[in-house]
Amino acid sequence: MMSVEQSAEETVMGDLLKAAFVGMVAEFRPCAYYDEPLDCIRVIARDCSVNEWRVSRLLTVLEDNYPNPEAGRELYVGFIIKGARHFCQQQEIDLTTPVQLSELLDRILAESSEDAVRIAVNAVAKPLVRKGIKEVSLALAA
């Protein structure tokens, strides 16, 4: 039968691991990055547990599993643009320089007639971009 309590050996090992990684983990900052293997742009405003809600073939919204508006924890914390490089090429967006997320979102709106896409872009994605996540590079790794 296993004991619920940690053994002295486990405690020492845990303390050594924590000490080894102190200062090595950077504080989370809102970001946008291109995930090359999945050809998607991920925009993440807060580090938290999320649900992904697919809005369309291009757009997925990230929703905080434990929102608390009174504590400043808003419901929507990010979004994903799927098929990003392919979409940019179709739209003739220059991929040699960082892509402006506001331009990309405008192009998504222009291409879609779906109400769900319009709501997701205008109510979730654009407000996150206005908070400071402005661009992303889609340059391929060497």
Question: What's the CA angle centered on 78, arms 74 and 81, to 5 degrees?
Answer: 155
Other Cβ atoms within 10 Å of 107 Cβ, number: 18
**pLDDT at site 7:** 62
Residue pLDDT, tens place only, 3-41: 445 566 667 777 777 776 776 667 888 999 999 999 999
Residue 113 belongs to a domain: yes
Residue 1 belongs to a domain: no
Residue span of the structural domain in which 70 resides: 29-136
Residue 70 belongs to a domain: yes
Residue 5 belongs to a domain: no
**pLDDT at site 9:** 65
Residue 142 belongs to a domain: no
Residue 39 belongs to a domain: yes
Residue pLDDT, tens place only, 78-127: 999 999 999 999 999 999 999 999 999 999 999 999 999 999 999 999 99
The count of domains in the chain is 1
Residue 6 belongs to a domain: no
Residue 76 belongs to a domain: yes
10 Å CB burial of residue 5 (0-12, 13-18, 19+) is: exposed
